[in-house]
Amino acid sequence: MLKRAQALFLSLLSPAIALAMAGGVSAESATRQLNMPQGVTEVSQAAYDIHMIMMWICTVIGIAVFGFMFYVMYAHRKSRGAVAANFHEHHVVELIWTIVPALILIVMAIPATSALLKVYDTENADIDIKVTGYQWKWQYEYIGEGVKFMSELRTSQDEIYGRAPKGEHYLREVTQPLVIPTGKKVRFLITGNDVIHSWWVPDFGVKRDAVPGLFTAAWAKTDVPGTYVGECTELCGIGHAFMPVVVEVKEEAEYNEWLAGKKEEAAIYKSTIGKEWSFDELMVRGEEVYERSCAACHQSDGNGIPGVFPALKDSPIALGAKEGHIAVLIDGVAGTSMQSFADQLSEVDIAAVVHYERNAWGNDVGDITQPVDVLNYKQGQ
């Protein structure tokens, strides 16, 4: 910690700051980034430009106003023998400092308007991707491609709670990033499933609220391949800080390959859904799923948070009939933050986590929940 403080002190003195201020990101020291990123799209560039214009205008006005103020504080001190004048109005001056700022505003409004027009230019997209905010993960659906998946935080609870060292990409890594191609205009159709979230990728200049019952559109087109990290920016409950956005931009050929792979995966998955899983296989997979999707509320030890999130340990549902337990995951519990997981988890994952919950923390029901059980329940609906 002392070391960090020391490094920090040095960085304060270092001209790197001035550089970072003027030029945005310097790759080697993302930790010292002080300014808005320029990003890799037209929209992010426009936001950056108008941000810099505003900042310079404010800086110039600030220097003038505060400069004058400091001069007054120095020159007109009583201790220097200053004697107070007695004027208290001057119509011409007052008129000037009303009109001049108004004129400056009109000038600022022009680039501000054109930047906004860019943000709203969502027509004629090449690819449409539906982005849905869930408590506390993102779902991406490639419209018309039959590809849909969840993107969840990959950082472990152990790292978060200091039981394991924090990795380089702490809280900025996900199970499956969103992948888009270079050179194509991608439109994001953003909505929410439960509460309001907000989908933000700074390097794209895209931030849009994910509101239940409403679709909003944003777009990105870039020629720069790479990995871009963003965040959820609307308070959405306890997992708010733990649902990052990661987007990988790939060259078109690579993207197509990736998409084909995804489609294949989906097909393979469909064909293996009937497989019999062993007790232990399900426990291992179930624990993984539980930690990712359930532990935030029901806690790793299954004790929940009294009054907010019920315990699963010794719970009548976990100890009761298998069907009832599956039903809670598939249907959710209306009017609570227990949502339906039918769309978020695969049959295998639901089976595994149900199995895990029935056989962990001293819940030893001892039965086995297979993916077919989940499928049967879904089909029986």
Partner 1 sequence: MAHGPATLADGWGKYISRWVFTTNHKDIGTLYLWFSFAMFIMGGAFAMIIRAELFQPGMQLIKPEFFNQMTTMHGLVMVFGAIMPAFVGLANWLIPMMIGAPDMALPRMNNLSFWILPFAFAILTSTLFMEGGGPNFGWTFYAPLSTTYAPDTVNYFIFGVHIMGASSIMGSINIIATVMNMRAPGMTYMKMPLFVWTWVITAFLLVAVMPVLAGAVTMMLMDINFGTSFFDAAGGGDPVLFQHVFWFFGHPEVYIIILPAFGVVSQIIPTFSRKPLFGYSSMVYATAAIAFLSFVVWAHHMFTVGMPIAGELYFMYATMLIAVPTGVKVFNWITTMYRGSLTFETPMLFSIAFVILFTFGGFTGMMLSIAAADMQYHDTYFVVAHFHYVMVAGAVFSGTAAVYYWLPKWCGKMYNETMGKVQFWIAFIGFNITFMPQHFLGLAGMPRRYADYGLQFADWNMVSSIGAFMYGGAQILFLFNVIRTIGWGKPTDDPQVWEGAEGLEWTLPTPAPYHTFATPPEVK
Between residue 199 and residue 228, which ones bind partner 1 under the rule CB under 8 A?
200, 202, 205-209, 211-217
Q: Is 365 in the site for partner 1 (CB under 8 A)?
A: no
Between residues 119 and 266, which has the closer beta carbon with respect to partner 1?
A: 119
CB 248 within 8 A of CB 227: yes
CB 47 within 8 A of CB 115: yes
AA identity, residue 285 = R
Single out the residue of 23, 26, 62, 183 in contact with partner 1 (rule: CB under 8 A).
62
| Interacting residues with partner 1 between 127 and 186 (CB under 8 A) | 135, 159-162, 166, 168-172
Q: Is 64 in the site for partner 1 (CB under 8 A)?
A: no
CA dist list (Å): 36 to 15, 108, 202, 203, 234? 18, 19, 8, 9, 19
DSSP 32: G
Rounded to a whole number of angstroms, the minimum distance from the CB of residue 379 to partner 1 is 24
Single out the residue of 3, 15, 27, 79 in contact with partner 1 (rule: CB under 8 A).
79
How many residues are there in the chain? 381
Q: Is 380 in the site for partner 1 (CB under 8 A)?
A: no
Q: Is 23 in the site for partner 1 (CB under 8 A)?
A: no
**Euclidean distance between CA atoms 207 and 198, whole angstroms:** 7
Q: Is 238 in the site for partner 1 (CB under 8 A)?
A: yes
**Euclidean distance between CA atoms 274 and 256, whole angstroms:** 29
AA identity, residue 159 = E
Rounded to a whole number of angstroms, the minimum distance from the CB of residue 275 to partner 1 is 36
Q: Could you give the 3-state DSSP secondary structure of residue 228?
A: strand
**Euclidean distance between CA atoms 138 and 248, whole angstroms:** 15
Rounded to a whole number of angstroms, the minimum distance from the CB of residue 356 to partner 1 is 22
Which one of 231-239, 277-285, 319-327, 368-376 is the stretch in contact with partner 1 (CB under 8 A)?
A: 231-239
Which is nearest to 40 in space by CA: 247, 191, 258? Answer: 247
Rounded to a whole number of angstroms, the minimum distance from the CB of residue 237 to partner 1 is 6
* Number of residues located near partner 1, criterion CB under 8 A: 113
Between residues 145 and 332, which has the closer beta carbon with respect to partner 1?
A: 332
Which is nearest to 256 in space by CA: 147, 149, 152? Answer: 147
Q: Is 275 in the site for partner 1 (CB under 8 A)?
A: no
**Euclidean distance between CA atoms 233 and 48, whole angstroms:** 19
| Interacting residues with partner 1 between 293 and 352 (CB under 8 A) | 296, 305-308, 335-337
Site string for partner 1, 86-115 (x = CB under 8 A): xxxxx--xx--xx--xx--x--xx--xx-x
CB count, 10 Å around CB of 304? 16
